[in-house]
A and B are shown apart, each in its own frame.
Chain A
Amino acid sequence: MSRYNLSNLKALEAESIHIIREVTAEFERPVMLYSIGKDSSVMLRLALKAFHPGPIPFPLLHVDTGMKFQEMYEFRARMAEETGVELVVHRNEDAIARGVNPFDWGTQKCCTLLKTQALLDALQGGQYDAAFGGARRDEEKSRAKERVYSFRDEFGQWDPKNQRPELWRVYNGMHKKGESIRVFPLSNWTELDVWHYIYVEDIPIVPLYFAAPRQVVERDGQLISLDAPLPLKPDEEPRTVMCRFRTLGCYPCTGAVRSEADTVEKIVEEMMTVRSSERSTRVIDHDAEGSMETKKREGYF
């Protein structure tokens, strides 16, 4: 490569920083969705870089279902303290108080109430007009066509047929009052890019990503952690398995995979050999063909 040539990672980093700054310049109340996962960690680092030596000029928003892993809550508190960024936590308290859970309500209904509804309420309540999300286009089929700026109507809904064309790096941020956008600064990153970046930048991530002996039960081909009280089915027996999580979500719906990988390097090596895409450990994606698209239309990220 010539001297005036950016490496793959540096090119992606520059593009993401450009997007984060552009949105911040053109929107009144941006917010960064913070899911505590590895992509959020990367996005947070990019935001720190975008405004250095100044502070990040918007808050982080965590939509909390109350069913995240304990280690995720600890990590969230640690990151908020280390970076000094304002952290807003929003929960659908009404649904949580009424005991909504995936076992009795089903995963779809539970997700709609605790994630989608809670997110829309949080965005509306905070009057946020732009929300950064860590989604990548390589994650799932329907995301391959997602714009960097994804427009939502006043109900937060996505209309795949009515998205604005995106040319060059000139993003159209004009919007009416009440309208908002979801912005995906990591659109062009791949899973390997994310891990590589975490590695070279030494970005802290939740320890659940690393292999350790954990108490689990096997359910529908997935290892479900017993991190929190989980109603067991009659034939299920808790076991201790060396495993780790490839993505982090709610503990009842996020499966672990058997793994010995306890460093970023080992995780990447595992990725190269296992080759089973990361969202397959999310129970919710397999509900029906096109289910991610259906969720997105309703306002899910």
Chain B
Amino acid sequence: MNLKSERITAKELFEENERKDLVRLVTVGSVDDGKSTLIGRLLYDSKTLYEDHLSSLEEDSGRRGSAGDEIDYALLCDGLKAEREQGITIDVAYRYFSTPKRNFIIADCPGHEQYTRNAVTGASNAELAVILIDAAQGVLQQTKRHSFILSLLGINHLVIAVNKMDTVDYRKEVFDSIREDFIDFSERLEIPDIHFLPISALKGDNVVKKSENMPWFDGQPFIEYLETIQVTSDRNLVDLRFPVQYVIRPDADFRGYAGTLASGILRTGAQVMALPSGRRTRVKSILTYDGALEEAFPPMSVTVSLEDELDISRGDMLVHLNNTPHTGRLLEAMVVWMNDRPLREGARYRIKHLTRTITAEVMGIRYKIDVNTLHSEPARELGLNDIGRVVLRLHSPLHYDPYALNRTTGAFIVIDPISNLTMAGGMILDRRPNELTIDPLLQRKRAATDVHPQKSEITREQRAERTQQKAATVWLTGLPKSGKSTIAYRLERQLFDMGYLPHVIDGENLRLNLSNDLGFTANDRSENIRRAAAVAQLCNAAGLISIVALVSPYRSDRASAREMVGAECFIEAHVQAPLEVCEERDTENLYSRARSGELENFSGISAPYEEPEEAEITLTTAEVSPGECVRELVHLLQKRGIIAEI
């Protein structure tokens, strides 16, 4: 297994290194989880730990170590003097280790709450993340916080290492129950690949070698897993984005545009367009010191020369003609604030995006997220380590993609124009604010700044104890006549009869009163949904279970509702029936009136209905009876701990 002690020749080693790729991983957690011990163990066991580092380590262990007679691997990782004195790790540290199959860069992030920014820094360049859970402690608040941050930063692969299995006698039940707890929680995250491993970093179980103490676990040990996991497919090879970084002009005959491919594949001879000018030309050559290339892909650093003399400079971008990024002066983004001086509405900052730095004004803070509960709450500023959603107005247009589609062209940093410090990292959202929707936002914001939110002294927990139920919102979405209202009212009756306190918020009823000023355009629908979500959230705050029945055809609107209500207590239920079935059920002839054009913007006919991608439950009303649908919903509520299991 280990590389260094095997006697191979340098040539073989070089050949091996040539075949290897580089995987960047981030580990998040506190000293107590045994994270440093795990990393120390990786370095030590893979024999990249050099002997003199080891000897000074043994010396250190005697002096300050907390691991008794064994080598305190953690001392290896706590670099700075101040940190060693306090016994905590306060900054991201980078470690390097290799196995015969791969080279790894570990960004080792401290885990305390006040160091959210470190976790974000470490995760920003990582493809894979490792979170440690102390087997004796289980899933903690900080485990959830870290997972959320990793999800926010677009990490696709997460390894949950349940550590210190030796302290729980290597029992399978402990591991299984932690795994279930985490899966329950992680359904609300956007991390597609989560892998669970029982280990003991201190004793070496399942780190490099398969543990003999846990024969019940038949998965690969930690290192083997890291060596084999596929991470390359995460890169975006589709959308060509070549931000010009530097213009190389040795003489009047040559003009080359140097830069690093952000995404997509650049080919010699390909037609490209320069942004912002929109002028078109072809790639004449892709130059490197080692010769011309036929094609280049991310993250290669190359120099491009073009067929025509275009006036291109640093900050411009080359793209394909039929695949262009968004261009605009307004951005909606999630930001993680990293400085003691808070972000305030109306403030101006510099933002650096790819190779451009421009001025941006904070138009509004839509909300901030409590990273412990994942609830969103109104905010007028973002302080150190706060995560919030903001709208920015830029002083010149920017070419960008949503972060979810492109981690390079969707990311930016926020710089204070006076101190020059990096204040925040930003991730651009898919939702584009336009000038029309921004003004009401600002008006509301202005009104809201004069209002000081009051807080009830009764907590959610106290209410839950009184009502014997957890407040939650069941959001039924689906085509008109798919069966939403029927299910909503039957679910309400069922829950009520079981002794709970449910309340239906029906889309049609809403339009008779609270929303009687709204029509059916996309903007009006958004506003209607915002109001429904606000009412649902109010009912939740009062301790009730809200049942919302609303077509809510747009994914982004439903996502907003989920954010407003709080992802932890939001259940999206897709009431699904084929269009023909819905039309058949339509006694009010809504569908035929929509088809004849009498009703405009009718979802499913003359306006889109975007099916949910991540609904918690799908109810197929063409096949399953309303009673069965209700039973399924009740079962889900029990499973989620909202109501008691019988």
B250-274 to A contact mask, C-beta < 8 Å, 1/0: 1000101011100001000000000
A21-B245, A265-B9 known; A4 and B235 CB under 8 Å? Answer: yes
- Digit string of B457-493 for contact with A (CB within 8 Å is 1, else 0)? 0000000000000000000000000000000000000
Instruction: Say how far B205's CB is from chain A's closest CB, in angstroms.
Output: 25
Contact A275 B47 (CB under 8 A): yes
Interface size bucket, B side?
35 or more
- A230 CB, min distance to chain B CBs, angstroms: 25
Cα(A178)–Cα(B260), bound, Å: 30
The stretch of B163-171, B388-396, B409-417 in contact with A is: B409-417
Instruction: Looking at the assembled complex, report how far the CB atom of B235 sits from the nearest CB atom of chain A, in whole angstroms.
Output: 7
Q: Is the CB of B10 within 8 A of A160?
A: no
In the complex, A97 has a CB within 8 A of chain B = no
Q: Tell whether A144 pairs with B258 under 8 Å between CB atoms, given A52-B303, A272-B13.
A: no
Using an 8 Å CB-CB cutoff, how does the interface string of B340-357 with A read, 1 for contact, 0 for none? 000000000010111101
**In the complex, what distance in Å separates the CA atom of A269 from the CA atom of B6?**
11
Q: Tell me if A160 and B80 are in contact (CB < 8 A).
A: yes
Q: Once the chains bind, are B301 and A21 in contact (CB under 8 Å)?
A: yes
A170 lies within 8 A of B82 (CB): no
Q: Which of A21, A175, A293 contacts B246 (CB 8 A)?
A: A21
**Interface hit among A10-18, A125-133, A209-217, A250-258:** A10-18
Assess whether B288 is in contact with A174, with CB atoms less than 8 Å apart: no
Which residues of A are found within 8 Å of B411, using beta-carbon distances? 167-168, 170
Q: Which of A8, A268, A277 contacts B21 (CB 8 A)?
A: A8
| Residues of chain B within 8 A of A5, CB atoms compared | 21, 232
Picked from A1, A8, A266, A276, the residue with its CB within 8 Å of the CB of B10 is A266
Q: Closest A residue to B93 by CB, please name it.
A: A144
The answer to whether A25 touches B245 (Cβ under 8 A) is yes
Question: Given A18-B245, A25-B246, A52-B287: A275 and B9 within 8 A (CB)?
Answer: no
Tell me the smallest distance from the CB of B231 to a CB of chain A, in Å: 10
Known: A145-B79, A168-B124. A276 touches B51 (CB 8 A): yes
Q: Which of B51, B124, B237 contacts A275 (CB 8 A)?
A: B51
Name the residue of chain B whose CB is nearest to the CB of A144: B93
Residues of B within 8 A of A264 (CB): 10
Name the contact of A276 in the complex, choosing from B52, B117, B288 (C-beta under 8 A): B52
Chain A residues whose CB sits within 8 angstroms of the CB of B355 once the complex forms: 22, 25
* CB–CB B79/A142 < 8 A: yes
Would A24 and B299 count as touching, CB distance under 8 A?
no
Contacts of A245-301 to chain B: CB distance below 8 A: 264-269, 272-273, 275-277, 280, 289-290, 293
Binds B, one of A65-73, A114-122, A186-194, A236-244: A186-194
Residue A55 at the chain B interface, CB threshold 8 Å: yes
Tell me the chain B residues, 6-30 only, with Cβ under 8 Å from chain A: 7-11, 13-14, 17-22
Task: Decide if A167 touches B53 in the complex (CB within 8 Å).
Answer: no
Q: Which residues of A contact B408 (CB under 8 A)?
A: 168-169
Q: A77 in the interface, Cβ–Cβ < 8 Å?
A: no
Which residues on the A side are within 8 Å of B4 (C-beta)?
Answer: 272, 275
Residue among A187, A188, A264 facing the most chain B CB atoms (10 A cut-off): A188
Inter-subunit contact A169/B92 (CB<8 Å): no
* Total cross-chain contacts (CB, 8 A): 211
- Tell me the complex Cα distance, A200–B15, Å: 10
User: In the complex, what residue of chain A is closest to B299 when comparing beta carbons?
Assistant: A14
A residues near B121, Cβ cutoff 8 Å? 165-167
CB neighbours (8 Å) of B413 from chain A are 167-168, 170, 172
Chain B residues with Cβ below 8 Å from A52 are: 248, 287-289, 303
Chain B residues positioned under 8 Å from A170 (CB to CB): 352-354, 411-413
Name the contact of B17 in the complex, choosing from A145, A165, A174, A192 (C-beta under 8 A).
A192
B312 vs chain A, min Cβ distance (A): 14
Question: Which of B419-427, B578-586, B625-633 lines the interface with chain A?
Answer: B419-427
Known contacts A8-B103, A167-B120, A172-B422; decide if A293 and B289 are in contact (CB<8 Å): no
Which chain B residues lie closer than 8 Å to A55 at the CB level?
250
- Kindly identify which residue among B84, B245, B260 contacts A14, using a CB–CB cutoff of 8 Å: B260
Residues of A with C-beta under 8 A to B421: 164, 172
Give every chain B residue within 8 A of A172 (Cβ-Cβ): 352, 413, 415, 420-422
Q: In the assembled complex, which residues on chain B have CB atoms less than 8 Å from the CB atom of A166?
A: 121, 422
A172 to B9, CA, bound (A): 42
Q: Is B314 an interface residue (CB 8 A)?
A: yes
| Chain B binder among A43-51, A88-96, A98-106 | A43-51
**B20: nearest residue on chain A (CB-CB)?**
A8
Chain B contacts for A48, CB-based, 8 A = 289
Separation of A200 and B407 alpha carbons in the complex (Å)? 32
Min distance, Cβ B417 to any Cβ of chain A, angstroms: 8
User: Inside 8 A of A50's CB, which chain B residues have their CB?
Assistant: 258, 301
Could you tell me the distance between the alpha carbons of A163 and B602 in the complex, rounded to whole angstroms?
55
- Residues of B with C-beta under 8 A to A233: none
B contacts with A: majority SS: mixed
Q: Is A234 an interface residue (CB 8 A)?
A: no
Question: B118's closest neighbor in chain A, by CB?
Answer: A165
Q: Are A145 and B51 in contact (CB under 8 A)?
A: no
Bound Cα distance A50, B289 (Å)? 8
Q: Does A231 contact B (CB under 8 A)?
A: no
Contact of B520 with A by CB under 8 A: no
> Are B125's CB and A1's CB within 8 A?
no
| A7 engages B21 (CB within 8 Å) | yes
A29 at the interface (CB under 8 A from B): no
User: Does B134 reach chain A (CB closer than 8 Å)?
Assistant: no
Residues of A within 8 A of B352 (CB): 170, 172
Residue of chain B at shortest CB distance from A172: B422
Chain B residues near A25 (CB-CB < 8 A): 245-246, 314, 355
- The reply to whether B422 and A265 form a contact with Cβ atoms under 8 Å apart is no
- Asked whether B161 is an interface residue with its Cβ less than 8 Å from the other chain, the reply is no
What are the residues of chain A within 8 A of B496 when measuring CB–CB? none
Interchain nearest-CB distance for A278 vs B (Å)? 8
User: Is B455 among interface residues, defined by CB-CB distance under 8 A?
Assistant: no
A144, B95: Cβ atoms under 8 Å?
yes
* Residues 73-92 of chain B, each 1 if its beta carbon lies under 8 Å from chain A, else 0: 00011011110100000011
Kindly provide the distance from the CB of A290 to the nearest chain B CB, expressed in whole angstroms. Answer: 4
B150 within 8 A of A: no
Query: In whole angstroms, how far apart are the Cα atoms of A280 and B357 in the complex?
Result: 43
A196 within 8 A of partner (CB): yes
Inter-subunit contact A145/B20 (CB<8 Å)? no
Determine the chain A residues whose CB is within 8 A of the CB of B124 once the complex forms. 167-168
Assess A165 versus B338: contact at CB under 8 Å? Given A8-B22, A145-B93: yes
A301 to chain B, nearest CB (A): 17
B249 within 8 A of A: yes
10 example contacts (A-B, Cβ-Cβ < 8 A) are as follows A1-B232, A6-B299, A11-B21, A21-B245, A22-B245, A49-B289, A53-B287, A144-B93, A164-B422, A169-B408
Closest 7 pairs between A and B when the two form their complex, measured CB to CB = A277-B50, A265-B10, A54-B250, A49-B289, A17-B301, A268-B10, A174-B420
Interface residues of chain B, those whose CB is within 8 Å of chain A, are 4, 7-11, 13-14, 17-22, 47-48, 50-53, 76-77, 79-82, 84, 91-96, 98, 103, 105, 117-118, 120-121, 124-125, 232, 235, 237, 245-246, 248-250, 254, 256, 258-260, 265, 287-290, 297, 299-301, 303, 314, 338, 350, 352-355, 357, 407-408, 411-413, 415, 420-422, 425
Q: Other CB < 8 Å A-B pairs besides A8-B22, A165-B118, A192-B98, 13 of them?
A: A7-B21, A17-B260, A50-B258, A51-B248, A168-B124, A172-B420, A172-B421, A174-B415, A176-B420, A190-B98, A190-B103, A265-B10, A276-B50
Interface residues of A (CB under 8 A from B): 1-2, 4-15, 17-18, 21-22, 24-25, 48-55, 137-138, 141-145, 160-161, 163-170, 172, 174-176, 187-188, 190, 192-193, 196, 199-200, 264-269, 272-273, 275-277, 280, 289-290, 293
